[in-house]
């Protein structure tokens, strides 16, 4: 059974939950347990998914053992014995190979490692963490999808290192086959739409909001938090006057509308409503999945 691993930014957890909830071929779903995986797992379960959660030092050996067992598991069922005999007959071997490949494609194992969103405060640290986790997951994967924009792997050095992992690496791409700039480009549907949205602000400073971008407002005493202190240094400038609120009916955060209103009020911003989409997320996931199936035939 092929293994697709996903190294994802916490900022894109809603998009990832949506993608996984729409894939009926997932037979096993594993999530690396860490401090920011609890909300993600809760969202998965709300979509009737049943992820197994383990710390990385326990999970990767489990996946490795599952892979070994699937390779050495003897054919035990009568029908399988029959197929095994077919494989020894030259003119029947193509039929055997076709059936075996079809069985391989009947399921997918997905392993998700969600990294915390505050890594973005240090781009070098962010890219180092993405690479280190991708390197570990490459040992148990048929392919790795990086659920990040360019912020997660923009350096040429890192791109070269990713290509040396011996495991196919897939990226979030828009309709123009461009790797998306960041999580906002994912939410809007690609880099071209992102640029058009920026231009519609007529040069005014703007913040782009998804439920995860504003999720810190759900915390108690938000104005005394470190995240508020960081952003208030520049958002209090009158130059920042717009809040582009990205609406998507898939988002299920009941606090999103309230958070957007509160954020706009705090920083004296005008809310501009724009439409979001899951197109980039779903298309990129499906492309990675199809390619992995093709490579494991």
- Give the start-to-end residue ranges of the domains of the chain: 3-73+105-180+280-295, 190-275
The distance of Cα 67 from the centroid of its chain, to the nearest Å, equals 23
Q: How far is the C-alpha of 156 from the C-alpha of 14, rounded, in Å?
A: 29
pLDDT-based confidence at 175, cuts 50/70/90? very high
CATH topology for 3-73+105-180+280-295 is Rossmann fold (3.40.50)
Tokens of 161: 């290192």
Q: Label the pairing between strands 143-147 and 240-247.
A: unpaired
Q: How far is the C-alpha of 150 from the C-alpha of 173, rounded, in Å?
A: 10
Cβ neighbour number for residue 19 with a 10 Å cutoff: 22
Q: Which residue has the higher pLDDT, 56 or 12?
A: 12
Specify the pLDDT at position 95: 45
Q: How far is the C-alpha of 259 from the C-alpha of 267, rounded, in Å?
A: 12
Neighbour-count burial of 106, counting CB atoms closer than 10 A to its CB (0-12 exposed, 13-18 middle, 19+ buried): exposed
Query: Mean pLDDT throughout 104-111?
Result: 78
Q: Is pLDDT of 103 > 50?
A: no
pTM recorded for the entire structure: 0.85
Query: What's the helix, strand, coil split of the chain in %, to 5?
Result: 50, 20, 30
> Of 223, 186, 214, whose CA–CA distance to 271 is shortest?
214
Query: Mean pLDDT throughout 58-86?
Result: 64
Q: Which residues contact 294 (CB under 8 A, 6 or more apart)?
A: none
Tokens of 247: 């609406």
């Amino acid at each position: 059974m092929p293994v697709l691993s996903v190294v994802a930014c916490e900022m894109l957890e809603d998009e990832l939950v949506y993608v996984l909830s729409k894939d009926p071929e997932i037979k096993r779903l594993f999530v690396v347990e860490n401090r920011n995986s609890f909300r993600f797992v809760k969202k998965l379960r709300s979509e009737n998914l049943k992820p197994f959660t383990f710390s990385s030092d326990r999970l990767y050996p489990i996946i490795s053992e599952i892979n070994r067992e699937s390779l050495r598991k003897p054919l035990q069922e009568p029908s399988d014995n029959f197929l095994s005999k077919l494989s020894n007959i030259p003119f029947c071997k193509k039929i055997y190979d076709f059936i075996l490949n079809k069985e391989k494609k009947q399921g997918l194992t997905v392993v998700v490692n969600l990294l915390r969103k505050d890594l973005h405060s240090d781009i070098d640290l962010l890219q180092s963490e993405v690479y280190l986790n991708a390197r570990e997951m490459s040992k148990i994967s048929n392919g790795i999808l990086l659920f990040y924009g360019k912020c997660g792997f923009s350096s040429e050095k890192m791109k070269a290192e990713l290509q040396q992992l011996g495991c196919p690496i897939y990226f979030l791409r828009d309709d123009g086959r461009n790797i998306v700039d960041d999580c906002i480009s994912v939410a809007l549907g690609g880099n071209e739409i992102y640029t058009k949205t920026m231009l519609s602000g007529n040069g005014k400073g703007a913040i782009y909001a998804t439920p995860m971008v504003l999720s810190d407002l759900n915390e108690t005493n938000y104005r005394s938090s470190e995240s508020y202190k960081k952003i208030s240094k520049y958002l209090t400038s009158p130059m920042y006057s717009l809040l582009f609120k990205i609406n998507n009916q898939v988002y299920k955060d009941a606090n999103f509308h309230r958070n957007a209103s509160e954020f706009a009020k705090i920083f004296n911003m005008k809310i501009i409503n724009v439409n979001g989409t899951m197109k980039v997320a779903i298309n990129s996931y499906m492309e990675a999945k199809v390619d992995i199936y093709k490579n494991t035939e």
